[in-house]
Amino acid sequence: MSEHLSSAEIRNRFLAHFEGRGHTVVPSASLLLDDPNLLFVNAGMVPFKPYFLGQETPPFKRATSVQKCVRTLDIEEVGKTTRHGTFFQMNGNFSFGDYFKEGAIQYAWELVTGDQASGGLGFDPDRIWVTVLPGDDEARHFWKSVAGLPDERIQPRGLKDNYWNMGVPGPGGPCSEIYVDRGPEFGPDGGPDADEDRFLEIWNLVFMQEELSAVRAKDDFDIAGPLPSKNIDTGMGLERVAYLLQGKQNMYEIDTVFPVIERAMELSGKKYGAAGGDGHVDDVRFRVVADHVRSSLMLIGDGVTPGNEGRGYVLRRLLRRAVRNMRLLGYQDPALPELLPVSRDKMGESYPELVSGWDRIAQVAYAEEEAFRKTLQAGTQIFDLAAGDVKTSGATTIPGDKAFALHDTYGFPIDLTLEMAAEAGLSVDEPGFRQLMAEQRERAKADARAKKGQHADTGVYRGILDANGPTEWLAYETLETESRPLALLREGAAVRTLATGDVGEVVLDRTPFYAESGGQVADAGVIEFEGGKLEVLDVQRPVRGLVVHQVRVVDGELPADARLLHAKVDPEWRTGARQAHSGTHIVHAALREVLGPTALQSGSFNRPGYLRLDFGWLNALTPEQVHEIEQVSNNALRADLPVGWQYMTLGEAKDWGAIALFGETYDDRSVRVVEIGGPWSRELCG
Ligand code: SER
């Protein structure tokens, strides 16, 4: 291997390699892509899922990206192994019904073993091993014919390793993994099947060809049928490749992560790697700090704020673990103001939004550290009381429920309780504590299951979409159309008629009804047919492209094969909803004018006569601020500022200064920008 390649260089080489082979370079999506099954984007393919499933037509046949990913299932493993990171980047190339196994293998081989001087990564071909699904003779064949690999370095491994799925229903397929042999000093011979530390997986090529209807485990799932086309989804771990190409022992020592460890060394006065061996407890702490600081930076960058559930809780945990580990390293002062900027300087090169959004990011992170410091203080008092009680009663063990209360109510981590107990000459009933934790986890899981159930099975809607194509959606053009029903549903199943009094769903070939989105309530109105009338109760898009009306039959009986319907939006309702929605844009602009650009809307709801705008702010607003925001808003109304909209690319919209809200996904070909009073208020608004 020749030169050391920086992470940015590896990233650029990857994208250039595939761009030179006809792939469109697609920017990383936000970590918060809207998928009810995923807390965070955890693989490069997630933004492309609708293309694989055939729900949407891809605008390109080939794409390549470097996608930000977060996986926190293994948070306890961070720092203890060479390769567990909560944030990582996945380099990927994707084919949507274009090239398949042979192309994927050839492109990967060229990049992995290509000469560094001519843009490749320069791995020694003799150190490459691959795995294939037993029976996948095609993949084996191409590894031999294209790459010239000998049979003994093509290992068959079962479904667990060589069939990839999302862990939830979705696309999947056999895969083939590429490993680099780091050498005998790292473990026994025998290929990836024998040792995955010595043989490090760097790239997974997935031959995406099936749709899974249920996934119980990696190797236990139901295949619903073939995907509309055969696709390629690959994922190369950027951090893993970086540590190999930078001659490091693990992902925490690479160029984009290690500087945080260096700063932590300066602050704590302790030395990373001092004990020589791997896994020294301080080394693990340094790595946890570096990993968590970077992940927190990326999550806040994409709009997550600390909270007590879901994404916010993950962020809170990461931030607090980072702070806590700095304390364990002996550093007591606020640590994030020292560490976060180091991470920003390294990651900002590839993610400029970290630089432009820095003020907001820093504010969120530092406030959380402050809050945690207060928690520690309060928790310490509670701990002292508990310890005092135990001692007075002549016992030596802090009961499990006390440790649990400290954790649950005061956010006091158990390792802190253990440590302080030891200092006080006491022990802790750890099994009791763990039992209570397990019970709490069970409750949380049951809760999550219940929440997921709300996303009813979308299969039936997908079937309607597949059979008929997308709804012709005329909400922006007209308030009335003549339409034909494509399907009638009751309780999620197709029916032949809807009779007086029934509540059901109607899918039309075309509709003027606005479906709830962007915080604006669905249109109200009626659908008339010969001999009867439906009242529209709600309008939703359960799958992209398909508009579904929830209706109540006011009178008559609607047959599924009715010829002609009149869909009529209530014009007053629509006007009211639009006014409320414009009002939200105005209040948002006023907020930003008064509070500055870190004030960002996080949610909204608009219906006639009512608007609500949510935004996160660290302190309550002062009466003066509220008054000023009201004045700015009212002035905008009095001035009767002109409202207009136009379509442009996401890049153009950003250049134009339009605000894009975090967590929303936009179709890059064409976003809708609404402006009020010219540049005063410009927002992406679908
Ligand atoms: N989706 C596959 C993975 O996550 C390849 O990108 O490993």
Ligand 1 atom 6 nearest Cα? 235
92 pocket-lining for ligand 1 (C-beta < 6 Å): yes
Question: DSSP states of 518-545 as a string?
Answer: TTBPPPPEEEEETTEEEEEEEEE-SSTT
Q: Is the CB of 43 under 6 A from ligand 1?
A: yes
Two tokens at 350? 């590839």
231 CB less than 6 Å from ligand 1?
Answer: no
Q: CA angle, corner 249, sides to 247 and 253, nearest 5?
A: 85
User: Using a 6 Å cutoff on CB, does residue 235 contact ligand 1?
Assistant: yes
pLDDT at 182: 95
Pairing of the two strands 62-70 and 24-25: parallel
**What percent of the chain shows pLDDT beyond 90?**
62
CA 172 to ligand 1 centroid distance, Å: 10
Query: Whose CA is closest to atom 4 on ligand 1?
Result: 43
* 513 CA to centre of ligand 1 in angstroms: 39
Expressed in angstroms and rounded, the spacing between residue 204 Cα and the centre of ligand 1 is 6
Report the pLDDT value the prediction gives residue 36, as an integer from 0 to 100: 64
Q: Which atom of ligand 1 is nearest to the CA of 205?
A: 5
Is residue 637 within 8 Å of 629, Cβ to Cβ? no
- Annotate 272-306 with DSSP letters as a single string: TTTTSSTT-HHHHHHHHHHHHHHHHHHHHHTT---
Q: In which residue ranges of the chain is pLDDT below 50?
A: 1, 451-456, 662-664
Ligand 1 pocket residue status of 172, Cβ below 6 Å: no
* 39 exposure class (CB count in 10 Å sphere: 0-12, 13-18, 19+): middle
Distance of CA 500 to the CA centre of its chain: 44
Domain boundaries, the chain: 7-251, 256-451, 459-569, 575-684
Give pLDDT tens digits for 102-147. 999 999 999 999 999 999 999 999 999 999 999 999 999 999 999 9
Planar angle of CA 233, 172, 112, nearest 5 degrees: 30
Q: What is the CATH number of domain 575-684?
A: 3.30.980.10
The pLDDT value recorded for residue 604 is: 80
Q: Could you tell me the pTM of the whole model? A: 0.66
| Residues 23, 16: Cα–Cα separation, whole Å | 9
Residue in 204, 207, 209, 236 to alter for ligand 1 test, most ligand atoms within 8 A of Cβ: 204
Rounded to whole angstroms, the Cα distance separating 41 from 72 reads 11
Could you give phi then psi for residue 477, rounded to 5 degrees?
-105, -35
Specify whether the CB–CB gap between 255 and 262 falls below 8 A: no
Same fold, 7-251 and 459-569: no
| Closest residue CA from atom 2 of ligand 1 | 235
Q: Which CATH number fits domain 7-251: 3.40.50.720, 3.40.50.1370, 3.30.40.10, 3.30.930.10?
A: 3.30.930.10
Classify strands 170-181 and 199-217 as parallel, antiparallel or unpaired.
antiparallel
| Whether 529 contacts 506, CB under 8 Å | no
Instruction: State if residue 93 touches ligand 1 by the CB under 6 angstroms criterion.
Output: no
Considering the segment(s) 459-569 as one domain, its CATH architecture is Beta Barrel (2.40)
* 482: three-class secondary structure by DSSP: strand
How far, in Å, from the CA of 236 to the mean position of ligand 1? 8
What is the C-alpha separation between 438 and 442, in angstroms, rounded?
6
250 Cβ below 6 A of ligand 1: no
Q: Is 183 helix (H, G, I), strand (E, B) or coil?
A: coil
Tokens at 178, concatenated: 């590429």
* 644 DSSP β-pair partners: 675
Ligand 1 pocket, residue 178 CB under 6 Å: no
Nearest residue to 540 (alpha-carbon basis) of 645, 648, 454: 454
Q: Is the separation of the CB atoms in 538 and 516 below 8 Å? A: yes
In the structure encoding, which two tokens stand for residue 351, read together? 């993610």
Conformational region of residue 257, where left means phi above 0, alpha means psi within -120 to 50, and beta covers everything else: alpha
The pLDDT of residue 1: 45
Q: Which of 48, 210, 233 to mutate to test the pocket of ligand 1 (most atoms within 8 A of CB)?
A: 233
